[in-house]
Structure 1
Amino acid sequence: MYVPPHFDEPDRAVLHDLIEKTALGVLVTHGASGLDANHIPFDLDRTQGKHGTLRCHVARSNPVWTDVTTGDEVLVVFRLADAYVSPTWYPSKHEAHKQVPTWNYLVAHAHGRITVQDDEGFVRRNVARLTRRHEADQPVPWKMGDAPKDFTAALVKAIVGLEIEITRLVGKAKLSQNKTAQDMRSAGETLVAQGDRQIGQAMLDAAARKPTDPRP
């Protein structure tokens, strides 16, 4: 991923937060059958490994787990938010007319080594963690014990676990940081007003951290 210095997000904790808020990642593999991409919900363990460890499960019928070999390098892409940015939202456009459209976004790329975990215990733990996390906000959270044991056992046997040790974590926060703070604020406020709150608020936060615009 191309990351100009002004869009670089090097803070590991910030990137871990982004991964956990996104949850659904795109697992990119290059196995025996060539390039492949699978959209999978991941659980992040921040404590295991230098950059953390990702865990997930896939259907046994999904060829991804037989197409790769333990130790293969893979990439997981997490996109938290994105939005189109019109040049008309920048006050400077109406003064000098030297602005063009762009697309802003918040992403993290987790490079790592994959391990196939065809193990019932691993799969059960992964399903339980993901369930607890995503059911936490429900009025009555669903848990694995709510389903009949034989039904759950059959489903567990139909899935395979994957574990990815993150070896490199790259983050990009493209928030118009190459513009003035005034332009960033104006575009951010417009995005929030039209419902793109996550990316808009991120732009407003970045604008607040930017030095005051110099005045002639």
Structure 2
Amino acid sequence: MYIPPAFRESELPVLHEMMQAARLANLVTATPSGLICTPLPLLLDPGEEEHGVLYGHLARANSQWKEPVIGDALALFNGPDAYVTPSWYATKQETGKVVPTWNYIAVHAYGPVEFFEDADRLLAVVTRLTELHERPRAQPWAVSDAPPEFVKAQLRGIVGLRLPIARLEGKRKMSQNRGAADRAGVAAGLAASADANDRGVAGLIPP
């Protein structure tokens, strides 16, 4: 990923936080048949290995797990993003020398991926993923709420994955390369948007 110095994020705890906030990732593998990409919710265990380990599962019918992987796999995490119009820049009124851009957050995690079929490991991953996303609910649903035989049958339809992170790249492009007046204009413009995503990005623009 191309990352100018102004937008580079390299602090491991911050990168982990960005990944955990992304919710849905894209798992990309290079194979003899070409590139394969699958959108997946992935669980980050920050305490495993040097940079953390990603866990998830995909459908058994998905050919991605059957294809030999060439090199490392890549997990893509995209955070909040928004279009930035030049009209919000104070510089537009001063010189007119402005162009549109896009603000966004992205983290790329690289590492060797392992696919596994062991039922106990699969159950552990599914349980942890479920607990992660059910935790905020007033009455969380648990895997154990479903009949055991039903759960076993569902597990036969998926394959687990484990990806120890060997390398992380993080980018937080939030108008840091603009002057204070331009940043203020972007933040105000996004905050006034009818789009909730735009308003979320507004709060990430540095003062």
Band of TM-score, shorter chain: over 0.9
Partner of 1:214: none
Q: How big is each residue's C-alpha offset from its partner over 1:53-84, in whole Å with a ceiling of 9 and x where there is no partner?
A: 00000111111111135x94111110011110
Aligned-pair identity (%) = 40
In structure 1, the residue matched to 2:56 is: 56
Q: Which residue number corresponds to residue 3 of structure 2?
A: 3
Distance of 1:15 and 1:68 partners within structure 2: 29
Q: Which runs of 5+ in 1 are unaligned?
A: 208-216
Paired residues of 1:72 and 1:114 also in contact (CA < 8 A): no
Asked if residue 146 in structure 1 is aligned to residue 148 in structure 2, the reply is no
Letter in 1 for 2:150: F
Q: CA deviation at 1:47?
A: 0.7
Residue identity matched to 1:66: K
**In the alignment, structure 1 residue 65 sits paired with structure 2 residue 68:** no
Indicate the SS of the match to 1:169: strand
Instruction: For 2:203 and 2:158, locate their aligned partners in 1 and report how far apart those are by CA, in whole Å.
Output: 38
Match of 1:199 in 2: 201
**Structure 2 gap segments, 5+ residues each:** none
Q: Which residue of 1 aligns with 2:114?
A: 115
Whichever residue aligns with residue 203 of structure 2, its letter is Q
SS of the residue corresponding to residue 67 of structure 1 reads coil
SS at structure 2 position matched to 1:202: coil
AA aligned opposite 1:97: G
Instruction: Give the conservation status (yes or no) of the 8 Å contact 1:59–1:160.
Output: yes
Superposed CA RMSD: 1.3
Q: What's 1:188 paired with?
A: 187
Structure 1 segments of 4+ aligned residues over 2 angstroms from their partners: none
User: TM-score with structure 2 length normalisation?
Assistant: 0.94
Distance in 1 (alpha carbons) for counterparts of 2:72 and 2:167? 11
What is the CA-CA distance between 1:134 and the residue it aligns to?
A: 0.6
How far apart in 2 are the matches of 1:11 and 1:159?
34
Q: How many residue pairs end up in the alignment?
A: 204
Equivalent residues in 2 for 1:119-138 (5 A)?
119-138=118-137
What is the TM-score of this pair, normalised by structure 1? 0.91
Query: Secondary structure in 1 aligned to 2:90?
Result: coil
C-alpha distance in structure 1 between counterparts of 2:192 and 2:16, whole Å: 28
Q: Give CA-to-partner distance per residue, 1:38-58, whole Å, 9 cap, x none.
A: 100000000111111000001
